[in-house]
């Protein structure tokens, strides 16, 4: 029996109520026990960063605001736990999203199948997710890998303080962890735009890989794959979760897009249709237009409102301007070898032609060479999308 400092009962009761409400169902008993067994506050640093409601973050310090800090620790919200170069680089995910991921992976007695004996977690972070796995499956079943040595050491210390002892390793999660392979479940705590081949190779036939998904255009969705005997994997996307993307060793940054203006024109496609929060449309565009990202500019420097689009791996860029008056015609600027707005327009038009499919209608397969292919299931059959090496995706002809 694990012994660890108890979580405040009232806070856990509220967290369980919030999680149940969001999931729309009662948690399986072993998950409720795990949430009561694993004190979330033991896995958080003394300084957290909370969203300030204006697109930024405000610090919350345990020393100066202990009640606010403890309330945040048991709120069903993501908490930023580390900044690097002025940007969030590590976070404690929403407990409901953590639990939903574990449910999707089929971990626990509720799954109606044999309990997995070997589970690999990718991205130790604070250690909270690994502790939940240990609470459900036992320490000996869990291995966890973290890229950042400081985070790995802190996560291992948090786990020890809470009474758990999984195998914690420091390494590049893209390589999985071959020393403990093969695994019956592989669960990532960060998002990817490709499934590393090592994850497939280290998963037993019939085992599951669950990972949040991302693209340059849309960081949203969760992918669940089942490994086959021939070294391939296939599965589908699910419409939940937004996680920080996977970091790689010595990962560089791409400079700003600087190509000179080459094309000016007008479009009737509203920029809000492609980047205004319709996650189904944005998810499709993330697959269909690889490497394209967007940002809104309301500074008024160029126009009352501008949608700026950039190629994350090259000099191309585009801008769509709203003049504050006309909502059916927008000025367009495009620069560089990629006509990004034309690609976005084609991608959105194709999405409409397919009947505006939702995220759950997309399936993904990975072959033995690591090639990715997506099939969109519609009422009229399937449409193919190929995800080439080095790019998030591109529509097949």
- Encode pLDDT of 231-279 as tens digits: 999 999 999 988 878 876 755 444 455 778 889 999 999 999 999 999 9
What amino acid positions are annotated as catalytic residues? 90
Do 106 and 14 lie in one domain? The reply is yes
Gap between the terminal Cα atoms of the chain: 58
| Three-state DSSP class for residue 59 | strand
Question: Does residue 363 lie in a domain region?
Answer: no
Report pLDDT for 85: 77
DSSP 107-132: -SGGGSSPPPS-EEEE--TTSHHHHH
* DSSP conformation class of 178: G
Question: What confidence score (pLDDT) does residue 394 get?
Answer: 38
Provide φ and ψ at 262, rounded to 5°: -125, -25
Residue 314 lies in a domain: yes
Are both 178 and 268 inside the same structural domain? Answer: no
Contact residues for 243 (Cβ-Cβ < 8 A; gap 6+): 93, 97, 189, 190, 191, 212, 214, 219
CA dihedral 51, 57, 59, 65 (to 10 degrees): -30
Going by the DSSP 8-state scheme, the letter that residue 251 receives in this structure is -
CATH number, domain containing residue 115: 3.40.50.150
Is 348 a member of any domain?
no
Strand order in the sheet with 203-212: 167-170, 142-146, 119-122, 183-188, 203-212, 222-227, 233-238, 362-366, 372-378, 381-387, 394-395
Alpha helices by DSSP H, 239-339: 271-275, 279-288
Q: Which of 342, 368, 389 is the last residue of a domain?
A: 342
Specify if 122 maps to a domain.
yes
The pTM is what?
A: 0.90
CA 376, chain centre distance (Å): 20
Q: Please say which residue of 342, 372, 388 terminates a domain.
A: 342
What pLDDT is stored for residue 243 in this prediction?
83
> Does one domain contain both 170 and 292?
no
* 34 shares its domain with 171: yes
The answer on 168 and 29 residing in a single domain is: yes
Considering the domain architecture, whether residues 186 and 265 belong to the same structural domain is answered as: no
Q: For residue 241, tell me if it sits in a domain.
A: no
142 found inside a domain: yes
Domain identity same for 163 and 285: no
The confidence score (pLDDT) of residue 278 equals: 98
User: What is the block-wise mean pLDDT of the chain (397 residues), using blocks of 10 residues?
Assistant: 64 94 92 93 93 88 94 93 80 91 87 85 95 96 96 95 96 96 97 96 97 96 97 96 77 59 94 98 95 95 96 94 95 96 96 95 94 88 62 38
User: Peptide bond before 122: cis, by omega within 30 degrees of 0?
Assistant: no
pLDDT computed for residue 256 by the predictor = 55
* Domain membership of residue 123 as a residue range: 9-190
| Same-domain pairing of 178 and 276 | no
312 and 186 part of one domain: no
User: Residue 378 carries which DSSP code?
Assistant: E
Looking at the structure, do residues 56 and 169 belong to the same domain, yes or no?
A: yes
Q: For residue range 213-229, what is the model confidence (pLDDT) as tens digits?
A: 999 999 999 999 999 99
- Token pair 């860029």 is found at 317
pLDDT, tens only, 314-355 = 899 999 999 999 999 999 999 999 999 999 999 999 999 999
Among 137, 159, 190, the domain-final residue is: 190
Query: Does residue 186 share a domain with residue 266?
Result: no
In a domain, 253, yes or no: no
Residues 170 and 269 in one domain: no
What per-residue confidence (pLDDT) applies to 110?
67
Burial of 365 (0-12, 13-18, 19+ CB in 10 A): middle
233 assigned to some structural domain = no
Number of domains forming the structure of the chain: 2
């Amino acid at each position: 029996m694990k012994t660890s400092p108890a979580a405040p009962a009232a806070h856990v009761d509220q967290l369980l109520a919030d999680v149940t409400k969001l999931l729309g169902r009662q948690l399986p008993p072993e998950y409720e026990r795990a949430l009561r067994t694993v004190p979330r506050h033991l896995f958080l640093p003394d300084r957290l960063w909370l969203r300030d409601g204006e697109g930024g973050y405000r610090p919350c310090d345990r020393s100066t605001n202990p009640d606010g800090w403890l309330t945040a620790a048991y709120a069903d919200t993501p908490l930023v736990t580390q900044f690097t170069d002025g940007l969030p680089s590590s976070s404690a995910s929403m407990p409901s999203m953590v639990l939903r991921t574990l449910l999707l992976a089929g971990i626990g007695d509720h799954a109606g199948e044999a309990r997995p004996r070997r589970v690999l977690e990718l991205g130790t972070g604070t250690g909270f997710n690994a502790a939940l796995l240990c609470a459900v499956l036992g320490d000996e079943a869990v291995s966890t890998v973290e890229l950042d040595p400081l985070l790995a050491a802190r996560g291992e210390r948090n786990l020890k303080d809470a009474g758990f002892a999984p195998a914690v390793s420091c390494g590049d999660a893209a390589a999985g962890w071959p020393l403990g392979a093969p695994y019956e479940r592989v669960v990532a705590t960060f998002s990817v735009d490709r499934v590393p081949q090592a994850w497939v190779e280290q998963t037993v036939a019939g085992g599951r890989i669950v990972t949040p998904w991302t693209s340059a255009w849309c960081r949203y969705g969760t992918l669940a794959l089942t490994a086959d005997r021939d070294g391939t994997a296939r599965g589908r996307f699910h419409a939940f979760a937004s996680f920080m993307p996977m970091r790689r060793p010595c990962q560089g940054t791409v400079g700003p897009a600087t190509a000179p203006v080459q094309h000016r024109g007008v479009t009737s496609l509203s920029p809000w249709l492609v980047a205004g929060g319709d996650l189904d449309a944005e998810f499709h565009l993330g697959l269909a237009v690889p490497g394209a990202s967007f940002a809104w500019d309301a500074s008024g420097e160029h126009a009352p409102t501008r949608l700026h689009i950039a190629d994350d791996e090259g000099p191309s860029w585009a801008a769509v301007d709203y003049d504050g008056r006309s909502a059916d015609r927008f000025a367009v600027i495009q620069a560089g070898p990629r006509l990004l707005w034309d690609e976005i327009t084609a991608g959105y038009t194709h999405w409409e032609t397919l009947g505006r499919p939702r995220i759950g209608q997309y399936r993904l397969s990975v072959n033995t060479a690591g090639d990715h292919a997506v099939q969109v299931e519609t009422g009229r059959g399937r449409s193919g999308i190929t995800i080439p090496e080095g790019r998030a995706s591109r529509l097949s002809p």
